[in-house]
Amino acid sequence: MEIIKFIASAIMWAALIYLGIYCVYLFIFSVLGKLVPIKYPPVANSLSKFVIYICAYKEDEILLNSAASALTLDYPADKFHVCIIADSLKPETLVKLKQMPLQVVEVFFENSTKSKALNKAIENTMPGFDAAIVYDIDNVAAPDYLYQINNYLQAGEKVVQGHRIAKNTNTNVAVLDAISEEINNHIFRKSQRVFNLSAAIIGSGMALEYNLFKTTMGQIDAVGGFDKEMGLILTRQKIGVAYAENALVYDEKVSNPEVFKKQRKRWLSAQFNLLRKYGVSGFGELFMNGNFDYFNEIYQMSILPRVLMLGIMPFMLLISFLTPGIGPSCYLWLTATLCCYVGIVVAIPAAYFNGKLLSAALKLPLIFFTMLLLLFKLKGANKKFIHTPHDHTAV
């Protein structure tokens, strides 16, 4: 009996250390991100020349809208160039695209991935650009997006992540997805800059100095999670990632539960695959080179999705109440649970506290169990590209 109690206590302590550190991490970054302002760069006196890559896999109609929108950005026409990477598009779509003042790079892959598409586009890009920007097929940037990004580049930043914001909140799933995006923006982008750490790269709406983009993409062949691998490669070289909060990029949020499940499966698989690939190196970089930024990126690969934390923490708190004397005190679990919930709630923008939030919150138990089951169904998910279909939503 004593051995069983000892093992149970050890498991509970290990769980508290892993989950509790994450809860405190959420709390600190969320709260201080609200209290401590970040610095914005001055308005630049000179203009960078951009190439905008739009990765297009099917979704012909929405691509035509996104491409047309990209061409109307409020920036000198001779200072930006739009390049469509066309994968599996209809012939009539290609005809329409080629009538626009942009470049079309047709790609053909047995197994399509975003990293392959971008590397192929780089091969077909003329020299002379200062920076590269990546859009997803559904992205529509605010008119002043390039000016906002330019301010950071001219201030000396090499990598800048824009502020991706929801284009739609038409279903409960879309509302939760939009809120999740904004929580990420606050905790893992804006608040990271308070501590002079790198903002997390999302995978679209970001800009890199062109030569850096070219050399970094040359090291990436990920099926999924190319953005996460990019963040690891950059921070390992001690190249920081800035966050342009006012550089808005409207992104379509997932409306369909089944699509949501496929998307999250792809994300989780990529996350754990990269953790296996890079995880051990995080400690070496931290202790040998003092690279806390890289270690922080690795740590973010090791954490569970927040929706799981919303269910796991109350469950562990209940277990601690029911098993007094085994493992950590219930008061420690209560403190960790409060840190988790406060950290998440504080990060939600005020605009989302409305009737839609309450209605969407009722979906959380179902999403919790969906995500929990996905943890056991990741085998092989990172070996094949999983496409996320989009609706035709206008801004």
What does the alpha-carbon distance between residue 51 and residue 31 come to, in Å, rounded to a whole number? 37
Q: Rounded distance, CA 236 to CA 220, Å?
A: 14
Counting runs of H as helices and runs of E as strands, what totals does the chain give? 15, 8
Distance of CA 171 to the CA centre of its chain: 21
The SS3 of residue 355 is helix
- The whole model's pTM is what? 0.90
Listed in order, the ranges of the chain carrying CATH 3.90.550.10 are: 50-264
Give the model's pLDDT for residue 85.
95
Q: At a CB cut-off of 8 Å and minimum separation 6, what does 179 contact? A: 348, 352, 357, 360
CB atoms within 10 A of CB 224: 26
Strand pairing report for 242-251 and 140-141: antiparallel
- C-alpha radius of gyration, the chain, whole number: 22
Q: Are 161 and 206 in contact (CB under 8 A)?
A: yes
Tens of pLDDT along the chain (395 residues)? 789 888 999 999 999 999 999 999 999 999 999 999 989 999 999 999 999 999 988 888 889 999 999 999 999 999 999 999 999 899 999 999 999 999 999 988 778 788 889 999 999 999 999 999 999 999 999 999 999 999 999 999 999 999 999 988 888 888 998 999 999 999 999 999 999 999 999 989 999 999 999 999 999 877 778 899 999 999 999 999 999 999 999 998 877 777 777 777 777 888 888 898 899 999 999 999 999 999 999 999 999 999 999 999 999 999 999 998 898 999 999 999 999 999 999 999 999 998 888 888 888 888 888 888 887 776 655 555 555 556 655 55
163 and 139 Cβ atoms separated by less than 8 Å = no
Q: Which helix (H) or strand (E) holds 313?
A: helix 306-322
Local structure of 342: helix, strand or coil: helix
Strands in the chain per DSSP E: 50-57, 80-87, 103-107, 131-135, 140-141, 159-166, 206-209, 242-251
The per-residue pLDDT for 1 is 73
78 vs 233: CA distance, rounded Å = 32
Identify the pLDDT of residue 273: 86
Cβ neighbours of residue 77 under 8 Å, at least 6 residues apart? none
The CATH homologous superfamily of the domain defined by 50-264: Spore Coat Polysaccharide Biosynthesis Protein SpsA; Chain A (3.90.550.10)
SS3 of residue 110 by DSSP:
coil
Q: What pairs with residue 133 in β-bridges? A: 52, 207
Block residue for tokens 């200072």: 79
226-236 and 257-289 helices, crossing angle to 10°: 10
